[in-house]
Structure 1
Amino acid sequence: MSDADPAGGWSIWPAPAKLNLFLRITGRREDGYHALQTVFRMLDWGDTIRLRPRADGRIRRIGDSVPGLAEADDLVIRAAQLLQKEANVSSGVDIVVEKRIPSGAGLGGGSSDAATVLRALDRLWQLDLGEGCLAALGLTLGADVPVFVRGRNAWAEGVGESLLPIDLPSAWYVLADPGVHVNTAGLFHTPELTRNAAPATMADFVSGASLGNAFEPVLRRREPAVEAVFDVLAEVGTPRLTGTGSGCFVEFATRESAEAAQAQVTSRVPSRVVGGAARSPLLDALEAGG
């Protein structure tokens, strides 16, 4: 029996990955942040968070899920501390993160982990702060945290916090990680980044217009590993970049077609087939009690 076995007082919660189906920068806001447009797509694959409440108020991370990441800098620890302070509670928690989502790939791993901690601890500590309050707290941790707190596929604007739920058709994805850890803050300061794209509309997206990812041409020029993955994936479809990371994907209508495509490229590009989710698996877990 592992230390994080449910029989030892642990509960188990999913922290799904996401894709950005496009990503545009339409300008800069008065606060200095970039104004974005994107569509977030939840996936049926991601990390797993294990939580064990404590009565002594301590918040501990057990294990080293991301080598080199100090506990004080870990978003799951910061999320638990933020919630503890906001709700003024004396409860604590032990946290285990089972990482599958690669760091720096634009798949939302750290943000999703933090959102899962917020939603699950709100339940375990019996706070009932509500989705809106938790999303607002999440925004102070990172721009992508609110969409994971709310757990729905969404059209997003602002810095990513202005969310409009959107129904997306069933889809499957061949997902490839070039192994490049992208520094998001540094990427936003890249001189050649397009920062004044014309705003897209929902009709543009629904019609299938190619809206692109502002960071794709930058990374493909700067990172040979990303360009190499694009070259291979182009043999089976139209590759795209997700978020501000290095993760690449190709969309398919069926699982069978995605698996057939992956079989053609897997010997040259490490990849996996993942399904698009109608909503976050975290919402299902919350309804089921974890």
Structure 2
Amino acid sequence: MGSRTHSILIATVCAVVFGLVSLLGRSAFADDAKIAFLADKLKADDFRVRTNAALALGATNEDNAVQPLCRALSDENEVVRQAAAAGMKRLGRAQGIACLRERLGGEGSDAVRLQLTRAIETLEAARGGSGGGGGSGEPKNNAQAKYYVALSAVQNRSGKAQTEVDAAVLAAVKKRLENAAVFQMAPDKETPAAAKANIAKRKLKGFYLSISVDPFDYASGTKASVRIAIFTYPNKDLRGESPGKARSSASKGDKDAENRLLAAAAESALEAFVQGVDQF
């Protein structure tokens, strides 16, 4: 089959996908039939059909679209994975956060990680989770600042309670940034328009740090791993990622030791950003 004929065929299939979804949307058995139809298209051989199906699932506004989209996050094709993350963001269901976080921890593509991060942040903000500053209260004003930094909510895969992880990781990150004396922290839940205005007014360079905590490794003592993805702000273009690790001989279940390791791993991950901020 020639490439032109193949392209026409794929375009026709994609048109049929959306055409049938539209027809199903007007039928009495619309919801379940529509989701089942699109979920089946996620198994198609051509990635473009799977991509369109993932985007269409995101537009259904149906709770039972979450599971097919979660499965699509593991698709072999990164374009499909991006579409699944974008679909989950549009769907707007908080129950999708868990599988988005799980995929973020093992995703190797920067483009997909960006879509996953944006989806998680959107869904968490919609359910009242922390969004920009990663804490409470207005940050201290630093008149000597050269850089403007916003923090994500911590993506927690450690197995520890979110409140414990936030207390250890965010406190360590904020303390290190404040000690560096060249960073101005952004306020919580800042809008992009407000961020742009603040950055322009003070002529600062904006960064957004997306923080994720991996599961503990207990193979030999206890090892904590924290990763910080570095984005521009407020546009959020990915510039790099910095991993940090910390290990001790503490045994599994030593909560105090684990919290100290999380703080140390967060500081380690942040150090590459602090020391080389002009390179990002």
Question: What TM-score results when the alignment is normalised by the length of structure 2?
Answer: 0.27
Question: What TM-score results when the alignment is normalised by the length of structure 1?
Answer: 0.27
Question: Higher relative contact order by CA 8 Å / sep ≥ 6: 1 or 2?
Answer: 1
Higher strand fraction: Structure 1 or Structure 2? 1
